[in-house]
């Protein structure tokens, strides 16, 4: 079931919501036929003459000093064309740069590609081999002799912050907003948001709930493993074909790592089989370039295995979180404290900054403090994952909010409406909100058929939770070429993961008042358009769509100007209505005008944008679960998501984003986790043992699109890709509590973890029934 | 005068003040004025002529692409906040 609720009538009118011709329809995606017929070219499909195959040797240790690497036996194996190690990489500066995927230390970036002095996680790349086929490459990698000095692994926040903790990075010092510590440490950075009077706020509270939580490392779980092919031509020009969320981000990172100018590298994005934030960082691309150069300028392809993907790419942070919230006698939040300890993996850069802003964002709070800690551990360098950091902290906050509502005897939706953030309230970092739709999403859930229905049966429960995501604007570039037959070629560089070729083409079509089918959208390489940020931050339909809107306006204006010249009238006298240009008695359909205006000069347009007025998104979700008390297995009975989507350009793709985020959030809530042994070896690097939900595990997820148009976009667009993953873990935990009486303080709520908690509760209750010694 | 919200970890430099009224027509001018009154503030906010990596500035609710060059009005509200990093949320 899907439905749409429109809010903010004045804004709707201002944004021309009524009378759209293309926006709000559900056309077929441009890449649809190629994908269902198997003709779409993914990164592993790339073939060319003389192609060599690469393989990466990875560390068997979680933490080890590399004393030496001997590649002679591998190089001597027939069929091997090149072997590379960190010694082949240029020396990277210990300096922070912004490469379009956040600020990053260049030395750490290079170290993660091929380990230099130390291997910092099980699976850390150590060497690369290129050979005439994948089997020889793999065999040769096994012949590389690495002399390791194993060191004690540091696997968790607690391990890393212990007084006698082994140090991962010798030069790391804690950065507290520019104040640099003097001691060696695994704490990379610390920050604080604080406003009001926290002490007074808690003193005013009638009720305070103070809890701690633990969440485990999880992976993005994209279905297509990383793959890249590189050709280092004899003239020094380099081309990379790769599966990425941002071809320009790949260009930037590879050029920094290999210290080459951007003019020498072209990145060609292939079709992509999912990314969810995990396909922004480069992994095999620089290795493939080095191997291609060393192998005599032959192309080299590297395709990662699923085990390599899980061991060495992606994941998002595990975390320890404390949340303390106080409410006054009216049920209003009087003070809130959150302490967030996020595991960054082997190098600094967890999403704790984003998590801090997600934490208490749905609520209006005058007295607040949020502390964030970025901590390195011997796990893979963390990467973005859909609303990075948000799911962890929302699980904690929404669990505490649910407990407060229960203690107060309030409906949990009513509690969220009473305390809900709205326009002019403040985010946790203090910045004021413009028009937002948090309360509307709660009301949509409260009024939904799902929430109004009864739920009966043993071990069944219902939970709700809210969530926030900031979204992003970023930089986008696009060009449009008007063809004489009235079609338009739209060239843009935003990787299409969730249907953005369609949603961007629809905005161009709407702006030009032509049919969607007249726009031919394609994603192009880094030499074809100007700089374009990644498909991420829920920005693409918003920002690249804005560029497309501008293209449409430019083309229309120029067509009017040329027709005015042709008709010998002023441009202001030329109008465009119902698919035809008109001036006085003259009238010309768009298709004919497209030919006429280009008889003497072709017509194209280009647009670059960098919008900073991006609107945040909110979501509230409701779930019914059933728990098997014998096995601890959770069955999702029913799930409804309400999300503030601004304006749904292509409603099917918006619903798909909402359902996809919920599906991933449910997996995070009840199954997914990295499991390590005491020596830091990853034990479940396969999709058999790393259990993601399948279609058989989930019901149809019901969607309610709440349309609160974003005032700074011509069509009211807000990003919709990420906020949907923020509430599920909290909602499921609250439902499990209703079903079992157990409040879970850790993720995942796996059968083992849930049974353990249920048994502990039973033991506690039994002990209360036994008469005491006194 | 613009109202600058001082990050909590820098309030030791501003005698504990959470919000400081400052004259200036750009973020750069505000930081300079702040530094004059509270020496050391600029070093904490600026690195190599730009806002420190991993941090950003918001003026009147919007994160500013122009950083120190961003314009500030007489009634503006200014925040220096951690960037929403995490890979796919760069430089917000």
Structural domain count, chain B: 1
- Residue A768 has a pLDDT of 86
Please tell me which residue of chain B has the smallest CA distance to A197. B18
- Residue B87 has a pLDDT of 40
Which of B69, B84, B88, B90 has the most A C-beta neighbours within 10 Å, making it the best mutation to test the interface with A?
B88
- Residue A711 has a pLDDT of 87
Chain A residues inside the 8 Å CB shell of B53:
96-98, 103
Min CA distance, A626 vs chain B (Å)? Answer: 34
Interface predicted TM-score of the whole assembly (ipTM), two decimals: 0.93
**Structure-token pair, residue A196:** 């009001």
Please tell me which residue of chain B has the smallest CA distance to A317. B86
The C-alpha atoms of residue A584 and residue A566 are separated, in whole angstroms, by: 13
A positions 27-66 inside 8 Å of B (CB)? none
A positions 738-757 inside 8 Å of B (CB)? none
Q: Which residues pair with A369 in a beta bridge?
A: A194, A337
Upper half-sphere CA count for residue A240 (Cβ side, 13 Å): 32
**Structure-token pair, residue A684:** 């479940």
The answer to whether the CB atoms of B7 and A192 lie below 8 A apart is: yes
Instruction: Please check whether residue A15 is in contact with residue A715, taking contact to mean a CB–CB distance below 8 angstroms.
Output: yes
3-state helix/strand/coil string of A507-543: HHHHHHCCCHHHEEEEECCCCCCCCCCCCCCCCHHHH
The C-alpha atoms of residue A502 and residue A522 are separated, in whole angstroms, by: 10
Q: Which residues of chain A register pLDDT less than 50?
A: 8-18
Instruction: Please check whether residue A224 is in contact with residue A243, taking contact to mean a CB–CB distance below 8 angstroms.
Output: yes
User: For domain A1-17+433-471+615-774, which architecture applies?
Assistant: 2-Layer Sandwich (3.30)
Q: Which residues pair with A241 in a beta bridge?
A: A229, A268
Min CA distance, B80 vs chain A (Å)? Answer: 9
Min CA distance, A277 vs chain B (Å)? Answer: 5
Closest partner CB to A194 (pick from B8, B53, B92): B8
Which of A93, A99, A178, A429 has the most B C-beta neighbours within 10 Å, making it the best mutation to test the interface with B?
A178
Please tell me which residue of chain A has the smallest CA distance to B58. A431
- Residue A102 has a pLDDT of 65
User: For domain A473-609, which architecture applies?
Assistant: 2-Layer Sandwich (3.30)
* Range of the structural domain that residue B9 is part of: 2-82
The answer to whether the CB atoms of B86 and A612 lie below 8 A apart is: no
Chain B residues inside the 8 Å CB shell of A190:
9
Chain B residues inside the 8 Å CB shell of A472:
84, 89-90, 92
The C-alpha atoms of residue A718 and residue A707 are separated, in whole angstroms, by: 9
| Torsion from C-alpha of A295, A249, A227, A355, nearest 10 degrees | 140
Q: Provide CATH 3.30.365.10 ranges for chain A.
A: 1-17+433-471+615-774, 473-609
- Residue B92 has a pLDDT of 27
Q: In terms of C-beta density within 10 A (0-12 exposed, 13-18 middle, 19 or more buried), how is residue A263 classed?
A: exposed
The C-alpha atoms of residue B22 and residue A5 are separated, in whole angstroms, by: 43
Closest partner CB to B79 (pick from A102, A280, A430): A430
Name the band, by pLDDT with cuts 50, 70 and 90, for residue B85: low
pLDDT tens figures, A538-548: 999 999 999 99
H/E stretch holding A213 reads strand A207-215
Closest partner CB to A192 (pick from B9, B62, B92): B9
CB of A384 less than 8 A from some CB of B = yes
């050391």: which residue's tokens? B40
Chain B residues inside the 8 Å CB shell of A191:
7, 9, 82
Chain B residues inside the 8 Å CB shell of A178:
10, 43-45, 47, 52
């092919």: which residue's tokens? A229
A36-75: string of b/e by CB count within 10 Å (b at 16+)?
Answer: eeeebeebbebeeeebbbbbbbbbbbbbbebeebebeebe
CB of A357 less than 8 A from some CB of B = yes
CB of A103 less than 8 A from some CB of B = yes
């702006």: which residue's tokens? A511
Chain B residues inside the 8 Å CB shell of A343:
none
Chain A residues inside the 8 Å CB shell of B47:
178
pLDDT tens figures, A634-657: 999 999 999 999 999 999 999 999
A391 to A41, A352, A535, A671, A732: CA distances (angstroms): 33, 11, 20, 14, 12
CATH code of residue B46: 3.10.20.30
Q: Per the domain annotation, does B47 fall within a domain?
A: yes
- Residue B88 has a pLDDT of 36
């Amino acid at each position: 079931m899907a439905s749409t609720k429109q809010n903010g009538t004045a804004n709707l009118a201002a944004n021309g919501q009524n009378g759209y011709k293309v926006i709000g329809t559900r056309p077929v995606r441009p890449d649809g036929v190629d994908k269902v017929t198997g003709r779409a070219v993914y990164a592993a499909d790339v073939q060319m003459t003389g192609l060599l195959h690469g393989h990466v040797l990875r560390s068997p240790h979680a933490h080890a000093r590399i004393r030496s690497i001997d590649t002679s036996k591998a190089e001597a194996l027939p069929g091997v064309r090149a072997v590379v190690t960190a010694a082949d990489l240029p020396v990277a500066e210990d300096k922070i740069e912004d490469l379009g995927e956040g600020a990053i230390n260049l030395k750490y970036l290079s170290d993660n590609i091929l380990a230099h002095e130390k291997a910092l996680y099980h699976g850390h790349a150590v060497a690369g081999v290129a050979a005439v086929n994948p089997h020889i490459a793999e065999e040769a990698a096994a012949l590389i002799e690495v002399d390791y000095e194993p060191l004690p692994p540091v696997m968790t926040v607690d391990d890393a912050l212990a007084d006698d903790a082994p140090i991962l990075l010798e030069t790391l010092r804690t950065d507290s907003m520019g104040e640099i510590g003097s001691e060696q440490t695994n704490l990379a950075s610390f920050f604080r948001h604080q406003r009001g009077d926290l002490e007074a706020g808690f003193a005013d509270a009638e009720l305070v709930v103070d809890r701690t939580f633990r969440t485990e490392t999880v992976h993005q779980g994209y279905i297509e493993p990383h793959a890249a092919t590189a050709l280092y031509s004899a003239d020094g020009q380099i081309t990379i074909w790769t599966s990425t969320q941002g071809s320009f981000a790949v260009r930037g990172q590879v050029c920094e790592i290999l210290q080459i100018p951007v003019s020498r590298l072209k990145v060609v994005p292939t079709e992509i089989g999912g990314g969810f934030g995990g396909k922004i960082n480069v992994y095999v691309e620089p290795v493939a370039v080095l191997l291609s150069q060393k192998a005599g300028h032959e192309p080299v392809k590297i395709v990662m295995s699923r085990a390599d993907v899980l061991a060495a790419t992606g994941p998002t942070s595990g975390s320890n979180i404390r949340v303390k919230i106080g409410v006054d006698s009216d049920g209003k939040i009087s003070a809130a404290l959150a302490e967030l300890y996020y595991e960054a993996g082997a190098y600094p850069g967890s999403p704790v900054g984003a998590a801090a802003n997600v934490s208490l964002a749905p609520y209006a709070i005058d007295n607040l403090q949020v502390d964030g800690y970025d901590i390195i551990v011997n796990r893979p360098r963390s990467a973005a994952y859909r609303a990075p950091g948000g799911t962890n902290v929302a699980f904690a906050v929404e669990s505490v909010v649910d407990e407060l509502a229960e203690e107060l005897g309030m409906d949990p939706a009513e509690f969220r409406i009473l305390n809900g953030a709205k326009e002019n309230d403040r985010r946790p970092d203090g910045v004021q909100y413009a028009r937002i739709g948090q309360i509307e999403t709660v009301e949509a859930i409260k009024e939904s058929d799902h929430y109004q229905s009864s739920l009966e049966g043993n071990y069944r429960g219902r939970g709700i939770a809210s969530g926030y995501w900031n979204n992003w604007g970023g930089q986008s570039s696009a060009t449009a070429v008007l063809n004489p037959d009235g079609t338009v070629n739209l060239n843009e560089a935003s990787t299409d993961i969730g249907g953005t070729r369609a949603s961007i083409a629809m905005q161009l079509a709407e702006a030009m008042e032509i049919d969607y089918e007249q726009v031919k959208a394609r994603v192009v390489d880094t030499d074809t358009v100007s700089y374009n940020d990644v498909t991420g931050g829920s920005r693409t339909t918003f920002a690249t769509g804005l560029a497309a809107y501008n293209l449409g306006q430019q083309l229309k204006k120029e067509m009017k100007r040329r027709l005015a010249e042709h008709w010998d009238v002023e441009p202001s006298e030329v109008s465009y209505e119902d698919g035809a240009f008109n001036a006085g008695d003259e009238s010309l359909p768009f298709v004919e005008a497209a030919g006429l205006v280009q008889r003497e000069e072709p017509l194209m347009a280009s647009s670059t944008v960098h919008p900073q007025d991006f609107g945040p998104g909110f979501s509230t979700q409701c779930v019914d679960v059933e728990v098997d008390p014998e096995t601890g297995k959770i069955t999702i009975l029913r799930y409804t998501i309400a999300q503030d989507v601004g304006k749904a350009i292509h409603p099917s793709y918006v619903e798909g984003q909402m359902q996809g985020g919920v599906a991933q959030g449910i997996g995070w809530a009840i199954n997914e986790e990295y499991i390590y042994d005491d020596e830091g070896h990853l034990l479940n690097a396969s999709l058999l043992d790393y259990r993601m939900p399948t279609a058989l595990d989930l019901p149809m997820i019901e969607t309610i699109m709440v349309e609160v148009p974003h005032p700074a976009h011509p069509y009211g667009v807000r990003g919709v890709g990420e906020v949907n993953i923020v509430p599920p873990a909290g909602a499921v935990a609250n439902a499990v509590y209703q079903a079992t009486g157990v409040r879970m303080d850790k993720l995942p709520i796996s059968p083992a973890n849930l049974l353990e908690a249920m048994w502990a509760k039973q033991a506690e209750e039994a002990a209360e029934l036994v008469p005491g010694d006194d | 005068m613009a109202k600058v919200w001082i990050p909590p970890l820098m309030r030791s430099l501003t005698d504990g003040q959470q919000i400081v009224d400052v004259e200036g027509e750009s973020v750069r001018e505000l930081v300079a004025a702040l530094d004059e009154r509270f020496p050391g503030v600029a070093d904490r906010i600026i690195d190599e002529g730009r806002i420190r990596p991993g941090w950003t500035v918001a003026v009147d609710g919007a994160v500013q692409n122009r950083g120190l060059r961003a314009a500030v009005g007489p009634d503006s509200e200014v925040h220096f906040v951690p960037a929403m990093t995490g890979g796919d949320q760069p430089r917000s």
